[in-house]
Amino acid sequence: MPIFSAYDTTPLAYRLVGEGEPLICLPGGPMRASAYLGDLGGLAAHRQLVLLDLRGTGASGVPADPSTYRCDRLVDDVEALRAHLGLERIDVLAHSAGADLALLYAARHPERLRTLTLVTPSTRAVGVEVSDQDLREAAELRRDEPWYPEARAAQEALLAGGPFAELWPAVRPLTYGRWDEAARAHAEASAGQTNAEARGRYAGEGAFGPAATAAALREVAVPVLVLAGEYDGHPSPDRATELAALFPGAEFAVQRGAGHFPWLDDPGAFARTVAAFLDPEVSSVQAGGARLAYREWGAPEAPPVVLLHGRAGSSATWNRIAEDLAADHRVYAPDFRGHGLSDWPGHYSFEMFRDDLHAFLEARNLAGATVVGHSMGGVAAYLLAQREPGLIGRLVIEDAPPLLPLDPPRAPSVRPEGDLDFDWPVVPDTDAQLNDPDPDVAGRFPEITAPTLVIGGGPTSHIDQDQLAQMVRAIPHAELVTVDAGHLIHTDRPEEFLAAVRAFGLR
């Protein structure tokens, strides 16, 4: 493990996991070795994690002066790590009690901070108190678990002042969203990873000045994400929102089904949320209960165009097209739910994707925008154009299934091996609709009032081109252009695709 010297010559160690831009990770506990963070649910696939072992923990040295375990004294260790890495500004992720350290660092060195991610954060440094009632209400969310009665009784005894060492093992399941084998192993490792003396000194007298820290944080203008667990009581989502409110424009997210260690409870959900926040080219909005990630290009004042990807794709499939259109348009490309860096809720329908588009247009105030949809995205677009005729200014449908009965029906799909960039249930859920479509959809094509361009992929596409032509005849003010490219027109023939949409009026 790499070693560097702290201000008082204490040797401090850190681990590097993954590749890319460094993300300094501060562990909680307090004073638990960083090993418990693992690779943060796969976040290391997006960033290089710099996992610091605080002094006296893990592979770091024990200081000569134990008073330096106090949280405010540890701020200088974080600054020493920044200098050691040669970084002018740093991205910091902190978990639990490590958030107190990160908050003190942000207040003291705001000019050194680039982004701040606070995961199920302690709020002690800013004086936001977690109450016994917060813990009881969070516990009540787990009342259907088989271990709940024992955990709840132990929690109540602990709140009444009972012995921590005896009671905490029974309370532990309340801190995890899933009390499975992985969670049990993670919990069991805690004792051997925590420096008990350092833990006792971490929040010692003088460590925190909540009023001054809160005032300083109100001036911290860097991007901040506060991520809470739905089942966590320390802090509850309500207390975490109080912390987020201290920062100008902080993002706030609640991970469903998660406790105090959200990267264990649902690694994918955690990594997608944090990766989207850390990527400077990605923004997020809340739409219909789901977080939708999106990319944007072009001047803000330019006419808006919204690009919608197909099934199993993402906004990244539009990079080539977006860069061209951005010369004279403001271009937006969201990831639908279940795709890319957006939320993956686990069940899907074309109507849900339609509603994602509707919510996105409203959230970004894009009424009247030109909407371009490929395949599944085209279905979402024309369903919305049927339902809200005045919302879309111009409509481009790229080789999208018209939701007419398939003959023969699609056979059941088999999930490919390995990790996917989309949530597999998207496929069987939408295949079921393709095989048994709502008959009202085809009957409502005449209700689309937006000028419409349909671009077909020709005979090598798996989309029935005769059905596309039938759809065009049913939509008033619609025209059909064929680009003999197969289904992936804008990917495989970008110049011809752009020529078609430019001729349609995207000038």
pLDDT at 305: 98
pLDDT profile of the chain (507 residues), mean per 10: 96 97 97 98 97 98 98 98 98 98 98 98 97 97 97 97 95 97 97 96 97 97 97 97 95 97 98 97 90 97 98 97 97 98 96 97 96 98 96 98 90 92 97 94 96 98 96 97 98 97 89
Strand partners, 331: 297, 305
Query: Tell me, what DSSP letter sits at residue 197?
Result: H
C-alpha–C-alpha distance, residues 493 and 488, integer Å? 8
C-alpha–C-alpha distance, residues 377 and 397, integer Å? 8
pLDDT at 107: 98
The verdict on whether omega for the bond into residue 408 sits within 30 degrees of 0, i.e. cis, is yes
With vertex at residue 42, the alpha carbon angle to CA 23 and CA 119, rounded to the nearest 5 degrees, is 55
Helix 376-387 and helix 350-363, axial crossing angle in degrees, nearest 10: 70
**What would you report as the CA-atom Rg of the chain, rounded to the nearest whole angstrom?**
26
φ, ψ of residue 333 in degrees (nearest 5): -135, 100
Q: Shortest CA distance to 360 belongs to which of 429, 287, 266?
A: 287
Cut 0.85: pTM above it: yes
Q: Report the Cα 344 to chain-centroid distance in Å.
A: 10
pLDDT at 406: 85
Q: Report the Cα 377 to chain-centroid distance in Å.
A: 21
Could you tell me which residues come within 8 angstroms of residue 305 by beta carbon, excluding any fewer than 6 positions away? Answer: 325, 329, 330, 331, 332, 369, 370, 371, 372, 506
pLDDT at 507: 67
Q: Shortest CA distance to 14 belongs to which of 156, 320, 428, 24?
A: 24
- Token pair of 29 as six digits: 């506990």
Strand partners, 256: none
φ, ψ of residue 10 in degrees (nearest 5): -65, 125
Query: Tell me, what DSSP letter sits at residue 336?
Result: P
Q: Shortest CA distance to 394 belongs to which of 353, 441, 474, 448?
A: 448
With H, G, I as helix, E, B as strand and everything else as coil, classify residue 425. coil
Element (H, E) at 406: none
Element (H, E) at 356: helix 350-363
